[in-house]
A and B are shown apart, each in its own frame.
Chain A
Amino acid sequence: MKKLLIHISLLTAALLFSLSCSKEFLNRVPYDSYPTDASLNTANDLRTALNGMYSGLKSVNLFGRTIPILGDLLGGNIYISTKNSGRYIPYNTLTYTVADGDASGLWIDAYSVILRANNIINANVPSSPDVDNIKGQAKAVRALMYFILVTHFAQPYVVNPSGQGVPLVLQYDLFLKPARDKISDVYNQILKDLTDGYNTMNALNSNSSYMNKWAARALQAKVYLYMGDYNNAGIAAQDVVSNSGYKMVTNAAYLGYWANPNPRNDKLETLFEVSFDQVYNLATNSLAFFYDQTGYGDALCTPELYALYTPTDVRRQLIIKGSPVRGANALVVNKYPNKPSNNDDDTKVIRFTDVILILAEANARTGNDAAALSWLNMVATDRDPSFAGYTDTGAALINDILTERRKELAFEGDYYYTNFYRLNLDITNRSNAFPASARQFLASNPRRILPIPQGEMDNNPNIQQNPGY
């Protein structure tokens, strides 16, 4: 009887206990499927989302490899060796079609980063210096992505500012099938985002792998340059050169600068870069592996570019003559010597020297040849101590600036876009390393801009393809 009583009382106690527990204990939300508005509520949440956004830039189709390769391959600073892994061949021969995977990957991944930026920018978190700094970084990265998209997929600004740009998506909308916005609208949004970023970001957000106020200003200078607005380009570039506290890397430190695989916080040269390391890298898909002769080693420097460097130019030492697998005459690019196993080299997005050269060009184009020469020679005579300096003026000076840009920014994805695409200039001597049908890349060639991917055309009836595809 006693036992029964104990059992009954235990049972009752258990029952009461279970009834008093809230049912919510049993309701669990899946960790990996949070709706956006429930997940971005505090500055800490935004910081996590920000890391996700930066991570998106590392895609092989963006700054991981395609962007730094394309600008130099299309322009003719590099070519794909006959012994290759099958990558970027249509860009070597200028025969890419709507089905091309690299063009498609660039489009898809750029919009994926834009979505991550949009989620941060549109998050309903009360304003504070911290939150504004984070949102400013997101705006700057969004601007960078739209700049990449509009320059790769749409006509140059100078050709037709009211032409078809790319769809401007500033909010998440899964079912939207947008048409292409005007080129000028896209550029205006880019400028607005960079200005907002400049106003709300910190001057240095821990290290060069994070967007910061001066990187945004430098990008703005470049965007104005592409628009042909040399006045504003000059103002923005001068702002960075005078007020940012960044310094140009000099001759003595040059090789060490490129041999360093890590981001920096000493305000030397790098304004913004996409960073990789031993843990997070693209392994065989990395940029360094693509140049490394013990890796794929597909991309080699063209002889025409190599010939531009004098023997006393420190930049010439970034190119090595002879490859164990491609012959004694192969010109191997050694700007990215650090393989993924050695912390993997970063991809520079914008550098101080680039800004100086933008400043030089802005001055030259607004009639201030003396100042232009001063800035240009600051770079040229540092890189080549035995060079006395340029003395040209007018159109010849502009050519000198473009040549110096080619030599300085080689292998960084800038050459084709800044020297030819932006100005709508023909390329008449791309390099003899290319097949005969691909030695010219005229402004009239429809392939000067990439095709809107077939997948986008299929999924979005409102979008128009580029002519010639």
Chain B
Amino acid sequence: MGLNLGLWSNRLNIDFDWYNRKTTGLLFNVPVSYTSGFGSYPDNIGSLQNRGIELSVDAQPVRSAFTWDIGFNLSLNKNKILTLPNHQGFVNGSFYEKEGYDIQTWYVRKYAGVDPQTGNARWYYDPNQYKDSLTTSYSRAQRILFGSASPKGFGSVFTTLSYKGIKLYAQFYYQWGNYVRDVWSRYTQGDGFGAFFNKTKKELQRWQKPGDITDVPKYVYNNPTSSYEFSTRFLYKGDYVRLREIQLSYDFSPNLLQKLYVHALTIYLRGENLLTWVKDKNLVYDPDAAGITGQLNLTVPTIKTVSAGINLGF
């Protein structure tokens, strides 16, 4: 369902779409007991719903010798599993598939920081039932449904300013609502596990003596605890805003070009991905590198580039 509006001789354009999409017969690998000789079998199970809006607004507030365009677009999507066979939820890697929840809901132990007296990592034993009970045994801590790897929304804001031949264009991209997992944290923040691997600066905040309050456990060579295993300690908010593109250009006027047998000439200076603001200060990687599955696997981040160029039209 959508709506397209153009107002004031197209100085304001609005595009609005609302969608509700139901997918059935999804192909999933349904887990089975390993004693059968297999771990799962593919089946057309369950149904899924994606519901959301897409909005695009584009305006030109100033139109004279000096023009100013500004616009934004926004996508919101909410994903929900509608039905699963036997209404049974199941574990799917680091996720949990359950009716009524997002398809990429994290299934994870909840980290409870470090014991100030001993420096040991702790997890919540069963956050749903016993709100404050903690344990130092990783195996015994129960996993909970925690956020999703799918962003709640994303979009961009763009603006162009131009005067005579000079044009300045900028585009911001934003995304929020997802959680990303750092898969290599077991080595880079291993608290002594993987001792020969490089570490992130966060390890310097480790617990050192009784009374220290920190969320980085004590560093013990060869780490006999499980503090490096997956928990909410290594789940970060994936919210970020990025200056995707900024470009300053100058179009030479056709009068000046007549003598050169060129009918268009533009010079420009462009920067891509120059600035990124990541909401979660603990996340040292580019949240964009997590991709669609929300796993940061030492993937190459988006590169910043600066380029300059000339466009010639004959």
Contacts and interface: CB of A to CB of B under 8 A. Distances in A.
A112 B37 contact: yes
Of A94, A176, A455, most B-chain CB atoms within 10 Å: A455
Contacts of B221: 435
A111 B36 CA distance: 7
Contacts of A178: 33, 35
B222 A459 contact: no
Contacts of B223: 93
B138 interface: yes
Given A82-B195, A86-B194, A97-B226, A111 B139 contact: no
Contact of A460 (B33, B41, B195): B33
Contacts of A92: 222
A108 interface: yes
B70 to A, nearest CB: 50
Interface in B190-210: 193-196
Given A97-B139, A97-B229, A455-B39, A89 B222 contact: yes
The 9 closest A-B pairs by CB, nearest first: A115-B37, A460-B33, A459-B31, A458-B91, A167-B35, A97-B139, A98-B139, A95-B224, A469-B139
Interface residues on B, range: 20 to 34
B275 interface: no
Interface string A93-121: 11101110000000110011011101000
Contacts of A173: 36
Interface residues of A, number: 41
B34 A111 contact: yes
A86 B187 CA distance: 10
B34 A107 contact: yes
Contacts of B140: 469
The residue in B36, B39, B230 that gathers the most chain A C-beta atoms within 10 A of its C-beta is: B36
A93 B31 contact: no
A456 B194 contact: no
A174 interface: yes
Given A99-B229, A108-B34, 15 more contacts: A83-B196, A89-B222, A93-B222, A93-B224, A114-B37, A169-B35, A172-B36, A175-B32, A435-B224, A438-B224, A455-B34, A456-B35, A458-B90, A459-B34, A459-B90
A3 to B, nearest CB: 54
Contacts of A172: 36-37
Best-surrounded residue of A98, A114, A175, A459 (most CB of chain B within 10 A): A459
Contacts, number: 90
A330 B67 CA distance: 75
Interface string B43-82: 0000000000000000000000000000000000000000
18 contacts: A82-B195, A86-B187, A93-B223, A94-B224, A97-B226, A99-B139, A99-B229, A99-B230, A118-B37, A172-B36, A175-B32, A176-B36, A177-B33, A435-B222, A453-B34, A455-B31, A459-B31, A459-B34
A459 B33 contact: yes
Nearest to A95: B224
B233 to A, nearest CB: 15
Chain A binding surface SS class: loop
A174 B139 contact: no
Contacts of B83: none
A174 B32 contact: yes
A111 B193 CA distance: 31
A172 to B, nearest CB: 7
B135 interface: no
A459 B187 CA distance: 29
A437 interface: yes
A111 B91 contact: no
A367 to B, nearest CB: 42
Interface string B227-256: 001100000000000000000000000000
Contacts of B314: none
Interface in A403-436: 435
B8 interface: no
B225 interface: yes
Nearest to A115: B37
A64 interface: no
A451 B33 contact: no
A116 B226 contact: no
Nearest to B186: A86
A172 B38 CA distance: 10
A45 B139 CA distance: 44
B92 to A, nearest CB: 10
Contacts of B32: 174-175, 177, 459
